Amino acid sequence: MRLFVGLGNPGAKYANNRHNIGFAVVDEIARRHGFAPWRRRFQGETSEGTLDRERVVLLKPTTFMNESGRAVQEAANFFKLAAGEITVFQDELELPPAKVRVKIGGGIAGHNGLRSISSHIGNEYRRVRLGIGHPGIKELVHGHVLSDFAKRDRAWVEALCEAVADNAGLLATDKDSTFQNRVHLALQAKGIFDKDDDGAA
Catalytic residues: 19
Do residues 145 and 17 touch, judged by C-beta distance below 8 A? Answer: yes
H/E stretch holding 161 reads helix 154-166
Q: Is 152 helix (H, G, I), strand (E, B) or coil?
A: helix
User: What is the CA 171 to chain-centroid distance, rounded?
Assistant: 12
Cα separations in angstroms, 86 against 27, 67, 96, 112, 186: 17, 17, 25, 17, 24
Please, what is the end-to-end C-alpha distance for the chain in angstroms?
31
Q: In angstroms, rounded to a whole number, what is the distance separating the alpha carbons of residues 35 and 91?
A: 23
